[in-house]
Structure 1
């Protein structure tokens, strides 16, 4: 691996991004972390390093998403080099960052080349360096999945709920799974294996494993970021509710305003005493549709 190009300059394409020290990574964060409507921010960097929309959403929880992306990049892709980073910054039109940090970047690269003997070959493990998934993470995600991942388990409905509404979810299980309806519900706390990424697994279940999604509406639901994400993701899969994919359920009176994003959908209202007697049969019929 050449350390310098033919003109004696540093060959950044052959220097891993791991050569950049903490100071440079933090300074990159100062430029890119603030969400910016004028200049490209960290989300543009994330897209250029081949992160998906859902993975980018997951990085929002970090105080310094730019540094976290740079830390994780080498384990996902084989082209995580300083040269690739500089090309990305130029592509997203953040040449201001390149000009400001270039002396520090060159200094770190020279330190890396000094520490590392020129003849040393980098350790290359395909499963680690490849941009492809290292494990079939979307295969074994529920307790009912085949351990070998050959036959992914499917469900009639994904139940979107917050923890404070879990008692009603138990009632839903009794009424829809343990009666003549024999429906199969996907209840995250019961069916999803621990240790998985909430955002990625939720989207996989909603899009590919479940025919419908039931949204349990309550005041607590309105405060849940996870429920908000699941609802918006399901709506994006069925614009205008053409496939009747999302079914809102209101099971108790609310102090807060019903979410506007769901107002155009037909509601199953458990709080109405006049319609409560046929609530479960109506919901079961909706979930049984092909």
Structure 2
């Protein structure tokens, strides 16, 4: 059962999937795999086909796609809705064929092993009642991604950990450099994850950032500016971090207002206390307040 992408010994784009995959329904994919599919497909980006393009390929109309867009996880909703819309046609093989046709070989390469494992388990227990994916408690047996950052152990034994992931757009890099000086090179001795400095090139941006935010960083600092509002990467990182701490109950995400903004402050962050760099009356306390927030357990 070969799920590797085209060009590495797998079927060419457009070729049919192996017969056994055509018979495996989407219910075989557990919650972990569905969540990772969402991390790849939910971000709206012009450089790669996303969930909306997949929905179009499945025959969804414009208004149906707009309805899915309002969902917090449109990919998950699409995968749940597809079997009811197309009984018998919503299979793992069909999904893989569409991803291959849309050029999402990164998903096939990164998730192929997990999808294959789910399919094998399903085929082995197909005579038994299948657990609903929404309550599937199976834990993926694949190793945590290693070799993400410059100080990672190449063998994955000691992954590098951080106090905070810094979410920022490229135009605000000078402020991020000041943040490094004030928080890392002072008595606070914090360890920040700055993408351009710490992350090794060569892997999918979405999978790297989600792995770092969830597994490697205790908190996340969001540098808010007008340019931040235009960044798809910042939007994805912010929403992903919020999903890990609904309602900011764990104080995982800390917004930092870096400059006076022409546009409205992001609505998804309006209920979280902001650390305001632009207020001259409180600026002398800014770095201490931010550092203390990051030092909290």
TM range (shorter): 0.5 to 0.7
- Residue of structure 2 equivalent to 1:228: 235
* CA–CA separation in structure 1 for the residues paired with 2:26 and 2:175: 39
Query: Match for residue 86 of structure 2?
Result: 94
What SS does the aligned partner of 1:216 have?
Answer: strand
**Counterparts of 2:227 and 2:38, CA distance in 1:** 25
Q: Where does residue 183 of structure 1 map in the other structure? A: 190
- 1:282 equivalent to 2:289? Answer yes
RMSD: 3.7
Q: Does 1:62 align with 2:49?
A: yes
Q: Structure 1 residue 189: deviation in Å?
A: 1.0
Partner of residue 270, structure 1: 277
Aligned residue runs from structure 1 range 39-188, under 5 A: 51-59=33-41, 61-62=48-49, 65=54, 91-95=83-87, 130-131=116-117, 136=143, 138-188=145-195
Counterpart contact for 1:155–1:186, Cα < 8 Å: yes
Indicate conservation of the 8 Å contact 1:145/1:151, yes or no.
Answer: yes
SS in 1 for 2:203: coil
Gapped regions of structure 2 (runs ≥ 5): 1-9, 18-24, 43-47, 58-79, 91-111, 119-139
Q: 2-side partners of 1:128 and 1:247: how far apart?
A: 33
Q: Measure how far apart 1:251 and its partner are.
A: 1.3
SS at match of 1:215: strand
Aligned to 1:107: none
Could you say which residue in structure 1 is the equivalent of 2:261?
Answer: 254
User: Deviation digits for residues 115-159 of structure 1, max 9, x if unmatched?
Assistant: xxxxxxxxxxx9799448998561111111111101111100000
Unaligned runs of 5+ in 1: 1-16, 26-44, 69-87, 99-125
Alpha-carbon distance change, 134 to 240 in structure 1, aligned in 2, over 3 angstroms: closer
Note if 1:210 corresponds to 2:210: no
Question: Which entry has the higher C-alpha Rg, 1 or 2?
Answer: 1
Q: CA deviation at 1:90?
A: 9.0
C-alpha separation in 2, matches of 1:95 and 1:127: 26
CA distance in 2, matches of 1:267, 1:19: 51
Alignment partners' CA distance in 2, 1:251 and 1:128: 41
Q: CA distance change for structure 1 residues 19 and 276 in 2, over 3 Å: closer, same or farther?
A: closer
TM-score by length of 1: 0.62
Q: Distance in 1 between matches of 2:114 and 2:190?
A: 40
Task: Please tell me whether the aligned partners of residues 29 and 115 of structure 2 are also in contact (alpha carbons under 8 angstroms).
Answer: no
Matches of 1:230 and 1:254 in 2, distance apart?
20
DSSP 3-state at the match of 2:256: strand
Measured in 1, the distance between the counterparts of 2:203 and 2:153 equals 16
Distance 2:222 2:81 in 1: 41
How does the TM-score come out when normalised to structure 2? 0.61
8 A contact 2:171–2:227 mirrored in 1: yes
Structure 1 CA distance, aligned partners of 2:116 and 2:151? Answer: 29
Helix, strand or coil: the match of 1:172?
A: helix
What's the offset of the Cα at 1:240?
A: 1.6
Give the drift of 1:54.
3.7
Q: Give the CA deviation at 1:239.
A: 1.4
For the 8 Å contact 2:26–2:83, the answer to whether it is kept is no
SS in 2 for 1:52: helix
Distance in 2 between residues matched to 1:256 and 1:206, nearest whole Å? 27
Indicate how the Cα distance of structure 1 residues 148 and 223 shifts in structure 2: closer, same or farther if over 3 A, else same. same
